[in-house]
């Protein structure tokens, strides 16, 4: 009785301080509503699970959900609101940690990529959209569906790079090959993509053959550090890949881009960035959750560090476009599509991984919507002669 009364007092104090869209059901049948409207039900089936609610953060609450120590019902975006509220109002203030700097060897990076991307192509197809583009879409009105917005993104990248027939084009971290196929089909380039995911490699080449693009388009199973040669490509894109590079490896990464780019060539780096000027992990334990369950060894630089390292590598930055709102909308649509296909998703993965993906997609939509992280497209050029400027005077050409 004393233990239960302590729980009741804590719940009453929380409700007074910060009403949440949450009902809590305990193992003994007692229920507590933390707000007038409670679309989310949190079931705590055993007293042992209460340890996750002592000084909670998103990492601890996420672990409790992923590992099946608690059950949650309700719209997933409301679940994230409730989890953030519990973390802010029950957890103790914590100082931001140092950047999570780890060793990024070829073997370690390949293992991390395969952990994330080799779930199954059929699973990703349930929510990614027609072109299987797993990166931020591009919205002109905010009302487009995911297929229209991803087609706009692919074309936006090609226009930014000023692709023309005959260009040698490299896409680093090409995913399922949508950008190289789009560039070869619509812009007449000679397109090469590289990935570390065996599933993506197989799928991309199957689509290339099916679309009759085999003479102008190819995808290789290759690490960016192992692309051979110098000054091989007129244009290079890296979309949603450098998050896996590691902060210490940014000089190696941008150095590889410069080495592979021809003089007068154009490169575009599209990637998620930290909003913390010191490139520290996302607060409230969100970064710890991502590292443990979603992107092992992922590290996000602040855009200032990106620009510094590109300049140090000899790449002159010409344009920076922030797409934070675009990625919030992209992730919200992905999350909605997965939620509408949960039954089918269970035939392609187990319950634990499905819980990871539900929390991850909804959580990232929440993070981008609320400015916890950002994302930029950074356009740069390589030129031995600063007077030989490879881009027009204004940005008009990007939007025509």
CB 189 within 8 Å of CB 169: yes
Helix (H) or strand (E) holding 15: helix 2-17
Does the active-site annotation cover 364? yes
CB of 251 closer than 8 Å to CB of 278:
no
Q: Which of 136, 174, 217, 364 is catalytic?
A: 364
The tokens describing 164, both together, are: 């023309």
Closest alpha carbon to 179 in 141, 150, 143, 140: 150
How far apart, in Å, do the first and last CA atoms of the chain sit? 70
Beta bridge partners of 7: none
User: What contacts 24+ positions apart, CB below 8 Å, involve 2-10?
Assistant: 4/28, 4/30, 7/50, 8/32, 10/90
Q: What are the backbone angles phi and psi of residue 272, rounded to the nearest 5°? A: -75, 140
CA distance 355 to 126: 15
Evaluate whether 286 touches 342 at the Cβ level (below 8 Å).
Answer: no
- For strand 40-44 and strand 71-73, is the pairing parallel, antiparallel, or unpaired? antiparallel
DSSP states of 93-149: P------------HHHHHHHHHHHH-S-HHHHHTTS-TT---S----SSS---HHHH
CB atoms within 10 A of CB 144: 17
Q: Please name the residues in contact with 168: beta carbons below 8 A apart, sequence gap of 6 or more.
A: 189, 190, 192, 232, 233, 234, 235, 262
What angle separates helix 198-210 from helix 178-187, to the nearest 10 degrees?
A: 30
For residue 323, the SS3 value is coil
Q: Which residues are catalytic?
A: 364
């Amino acid at each position: 009785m004393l233990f239960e009364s302590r729980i009741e007092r804590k719940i009453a104090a929380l409700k007074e301080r910060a009403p949440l869209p949450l009902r809590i059901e305990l193992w003994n049948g007692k229920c507590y509503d933390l707000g007038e409207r409670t679309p989310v039900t949190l079931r705590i089936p055993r007293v042992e699970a209460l340890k996750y609610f002592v000084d909670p953060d998103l990492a601890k609450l996420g672990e409790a959900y992923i590992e099946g120590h608690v059950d949650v019902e309700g719209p997933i975006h409301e679940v994230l609101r409730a989890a953030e509220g519990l973390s802010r109002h029950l957890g103790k203030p914590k100082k931001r940690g140092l950047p999570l700097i780890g060793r990024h060897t070829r073997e370690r990076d390949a293992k991390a990529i395969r952990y994330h991307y080799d779930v199954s192509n059929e699973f990703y197809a349930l929510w990614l959209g027609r072109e299987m583009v797993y990166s931020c879409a591009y919205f002109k009105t905010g009302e487009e569906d995911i297929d229209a917005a991803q087609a706009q993104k692919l074309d936006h990248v090609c226009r930014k790079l000023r692709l023309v027939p005959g260009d040698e084009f490299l896409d680093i971290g090409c995913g399922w090959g949508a950008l190289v196929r789009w560039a070869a089909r619509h812009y007449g380039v000679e397109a090469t993509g590289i990935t570390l995911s065996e599933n993506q490699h197989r799928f991309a080449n199957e689509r290339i053959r099916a679309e009759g693009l085999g003479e102008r388009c190819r995808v290789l199973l290759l690490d960016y550090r192992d692309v051979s040669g110098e000054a091989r490509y007129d244009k290079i894109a890296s979309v949603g890949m450098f998050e896996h590079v590691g902060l210490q490896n940014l000089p190696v990464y941008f150095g590889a881009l410069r080495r592979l780019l021809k003089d007068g060539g154009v490169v575009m780096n599209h990637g998620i960035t930290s909003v913390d000027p010191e490139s520290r992990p996302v607060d409230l334990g969100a970064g710890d959750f991502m590292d443990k369950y979603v992107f092992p060894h992922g590290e996000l630089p602040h855009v200032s560090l990106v620009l510094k390292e590109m300049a140090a590598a000899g790449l002159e930055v010409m344009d920076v476009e922030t797409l934070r709102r675009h990625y919030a909308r992209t992730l919200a649509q992905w999350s909605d599509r997965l939620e509408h296909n949960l039954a089918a998703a269970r035939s392609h993965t187990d319950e634990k991984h499905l819980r990871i993906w539900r929390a991850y997609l909804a959580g990232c939509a929440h993070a981008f919507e609320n400015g916890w992280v950002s994302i930029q497209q950074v356009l740069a050029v390589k030129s031995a002669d600063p007077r030989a400027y490879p881009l027009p005077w204004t940005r008009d050409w990007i939007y025509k």
